[in-house]
Chains A and B, each alone.
Chain A
Amino acid sequence: MKLFKKKNYIRINPPEAVSVPMEETPSIPDGLWVKCKHCDKTIYTKEINEYKICPNCGYHFRLTAKERIALICDEGSFEEWDTDMKAKNPMQYPDYDKIIQKAQQKTELNDAVVTGCCKIGGYDTVLAVMDSHFMMASMGSVVGEKITRAIERGTKKKLPVIIFTASGGARMQEGIISLMQMAKTSSALQRHAGAGLLYVSVMTDPTTGGVSASFASLGDIILSEPGATIGFAGRRVIEGTINEKLPDEFQTAEFQLEHGFLDKIVPRTELKNTLIQILKLHCQKEACENG
């Protein structure tokens, strides 16, 4: 598959704000026909290309980390780091190892983030991609450690860092140690920022809880995709507190843009070009050394 050889994709207008319940994972299952969770239309799967956007309403289905990397990195340039890191059970939470194993089998990932270095439009970049299919990309020790190491390597190699965030929040099964990952990752970003290096956060559906209250919100530039759910507290928690239903657009990317917490909403089809443009405005190709 040749990605981005030519701009052979169709421009899609930014769709309306949508909100998807957290426990649903609106990925595209195998099969000939799928039903779009946003517009309810049945779509022939061949109509959905690698961008995974509903041809009818423009809804952006959730991507796996692998799919995201294929869309964003220059072909064959991604080099993965810390591939074998796996969770332990710091709180002795009953059956945590089984829960992890199940998620590993389902996703073929060791945990909820893939990190590494790559080229994007020829620019050397550190990349971290969270995958909501793995326990809703909750942040525990492995997510925190891989992201921290990625940022630290970025600082050491003087490289920009791009993180595609997605998370339901803290990995509660790891207890207080999961909370500490917010401090650890933010501290690493403080040093990266102190070195005058670029950090771009791309908030994808859903970016909530502890991840929204740490590295996701700390980008020099913060992008998102149309309709992504972004917020700190859970919608239902707030609805329970105020005793009323919240409007659909609450805690969407569009809501966050309106309130000043995003720089730009970029449709998936344009995301790579936007990132290249941002990298071009900050980095010199030869100055970003590989290795």
Chain B
Amino acid sequence: MDNKAMEIVKKSRMVSRPTTLEFIEQIFTDFIELHGDRHFADDKAMVGGIAMLENQPVTVIGVQKGHTIEENVKRSFGSPNPEGYRKQLRLMKQAEKFHRPVILFVNTSGAYCGVGAEERGQGEAIARNLIEMAGLKVPIISIFIGEGGSGGALALALADKVWMLDNGMYAVLSPEGFASILWRSPERSADAAELMKLTAPDLLKNGVIEEMIPEAKEGLAENLEYTTAILKEMLVSQLQQLQALSTEQLLEQRYQRFRKYGEFTE
């Protein structure tokens, strides 16, 4: 039996849910996709490139899922390997060189778990993105368009602003994983989903995200334009504000944004 939180988790994972490339197509013009991490491979679970947002060039990167089994196999079901995160890093450093803001689309249940991923340093790849993003001298905005799980999502979300669609989610791990690891009862995943406060309204309240982006009543896939029109306007105005800051101010704000997380007594 599903509760509200689990319903949102399921919506966030729907195969019909629009993917990063569809968002890019709707929001930006002149998109050129760039491939490869220059070390090992081109991870098709991570897409990225350069595009115009109204009148300014921006770097856009995101986790790409598919709408069919075939495409999802090609995209590793939206779970990037280390080379995906390294492609992301390469494109972010390229953005920094050319003073382009970075816009990231997050939609992953987590980083890929596999032998190759371990051999090529999945942990190192995520860690490297975190430290590099902490110092990246251009504005970064992350948008959770679907699922967000674990360090594999955080590697795209050490940003100046983190936004989420109405039916997005973000958690330390999947509610199924949470229920099976902590309670040894995967069937209690709905209870876990509720407890974990992984929905956009909960995350907004806890200060994990800054904005919620509405989805059309008839559904995100049914009316993507409704959402992308709002999102585009928000991006333009938010980037204006972030670009008005000095590099020092920008990095200090980003530092303080993450510095505040933690609940303890002393």
Contact B264 A232 (CB under 8 A): no
In the bound complex, do residue A215 and residue B127 qualify as a contact, i.e. CB atoms below 8 Å apart? Answer: yes
Q: Which of A141, A193, A238 contacts B118 (CB 8 A)?
A: A238
* B111 cross-chain contacts in A, Cβ below 8 A: 213, 232-233
Which of B122, B132, B195, B266: most chain A Cβ within 10 A? B266
Tell me the count of chain A residues lying within 8 A, CB to CB, of chain B.
Answer: 60
A89 to B206 alpha-carbon distance, docked (Å): 13
Interface residues on B, range: 35 or more
How far in angstroms is the closest Cβ of chain A from B202? 9
Given contacts A213-B126, A233-B113, are A180 and B118 in contact (CB under 8 A)?
no
User: Which partner residue on chain A sits nearest B170 by CB separation?
Assistant: A176
Interface contact A176-B131, CB-CB below 8 Å: no
CB atoms of A214 and B127 under 8 A apart: yes
Task: Identify which of B127, B182, B264 contacts A141 (C-beta below 8 A).
Answer: B264
Q: Are A193 and B131 in contact (CB under 8 A)?
A: yes
Determine whether B151 belongs to the interface, using a CB cutoff of 8 Å to chain A.
Answer: yes
Would A189 and B131 count as touching, CB distance under 8 A?
A: yes
A217 at the interface (CB under 8 A from B): yes
When A176-B203, A181-B261 are in contact, do A218 and B121 touch as well, CB less than 8 Å? Answer: no
**Are A259 and B119 in touch, CB under 8 angstroms?**
yes
Q: Could you give, for residues 34-77 of chain B, a 1 whenever the CB lies within 8 Å of some chain A CB and a 0 otherwise?
A: 00000000000000000000000000000000000000000000
A82 to B: closest C-beta gap in Å? 7
Are B266 and A210 in contact, CB atoms less than 8 angstroms apart? no
Interface Cβ pair total, 8 Å cutoff:
176
Residues in A81-99 with C-beta less than 8 Å from chain B: 82, 84-93
Interface string of A200-240 (1 = CB under 8 A from B): 00000000011011111110000000000001111001100
Q: Which of B113, B121, B258 contacts A183 (CB 8 A)?
A: B258
Known: A173-B182, A183-B154. 19 other contacts (CB 8 A): A141-B261, A142-B264, A175-B197, A176-B198, A177-B261, A179-B154, A179-B171, A181-B262, A183-B158, A184-B261, A212-B127, A213-B126, A214-B130, A214-B151, A216-B127, A231-B118, A232-B111, A233-B114, A250-B118
Could you pull out 9 A-B pairs where Cβ atoms are within 8 angstroms? Answer: A92-B195, A141-B261, A144-B262, A175-B195, A180-B262, A187-B255, A213-B122, A217-B127, A261-B121
Chain B residues within 8 Å of A, Cβ to Cβ: 111, 113-115, 117-124, 126-128, 130-132, 134-135, 150-151, 154-155, 157-158, 170-173, 178, 181-182, 195-198, 203, 206, 208, 254-255, 258-259, 261-266
